[in-house]
Chain A
Amino acid sequence: MIKRAGPHFILILFSASLLLPLLWVLRTSLTNKVSAYRIPPEWTEPIADNYIAIFTDQPFGTFFLNSLIVAVGSTAIALPLATMLAYAFCRFNTGGMPLRLTVLASQMLPPVILVLPLFSIFLTVGLINNHLGLMLAHVTINLPFLAWMLISFFEGDARIVEEAARVEGATRLQAFLFVAVPMAAPGIVAAGLLGLILSWNEFLYALVLSGKATATLPIGLSALETHRGVEIAMLAAATMFSITPVFVLLPFLKRYLIKGLALGAVK
Chain B
Amino acid sequence: MSALFAPTLAARDRRFGYAMAAPAIVVLAAIILAPVALALATSLFDYTLMNMTFDRFIGFDNFVAALSSSEFANSMVVTTLFVIAVVALEFVIGFVVALMLTTVKRGKNIYYLILLIPLLINPVVVGLIWRMLLHPTLGIVNWLLGGIGVPDIDWLGHPGTAFWTVVLVDIWHQVSFMAVLLTAGLSALPTEPYEAARAEGAGTLQTFWYITLPLMKPVIAVTLLIRLIFAIKTYDLIYIMTRGGPGDATDLISYYIYRSAFARLNLGEAAAMAILLMVIVIVLTLALFRTMRARG
Contacts and interface: CB of A to CB of B under 8 A. Distances in A.
A56 interface: no
Nearest to B191: A266
B120 A193 contact: no
B14 A92 contact: yes
A221 interface: yes
Interface of A (DSSP majority class): helix
Contacts of B209: none
Nearest to A267: B194
Contacts of A151: 218, 222
Given A194-B181, A239-B121, A267 B212 contact: yes
Nearest to A175: B16
A148 B115 contact: no
B103 A84 contact: no
A173 B13 CA distance: 11
B48 to A, nearest CB: 12
Contact residue range for chain A? 35 or more
A60 to B, nearest CB: 13
A93 B14 CA distance: 8
B187 A112 contact: no
Contacts of A37: 132, 135, 138
A247 B109 CA distance: 11
B218 A197 contact: no
Contacts of B93: 14
A101 B285 contact: yes
B207 A267 contact: yes
B194 A260 contact: no
A155 B218 contact: yes
Interface string A22-66: 101100100000001111110000000000000000000000000
B87 to A, nearest CB: 15
Nearest to B254: A110
A85 interface: yes
A143 interface: yes
B32 A260 contact: no
A114 B123 contact: no
Give the 9 A-B CB pairs with smallest separation, nearest first.
Answer: A92-B17, A260-B187, A152-B218, A190-B184, A94-B17, A117-B35, A88-B20, A85-B24, A81-B24
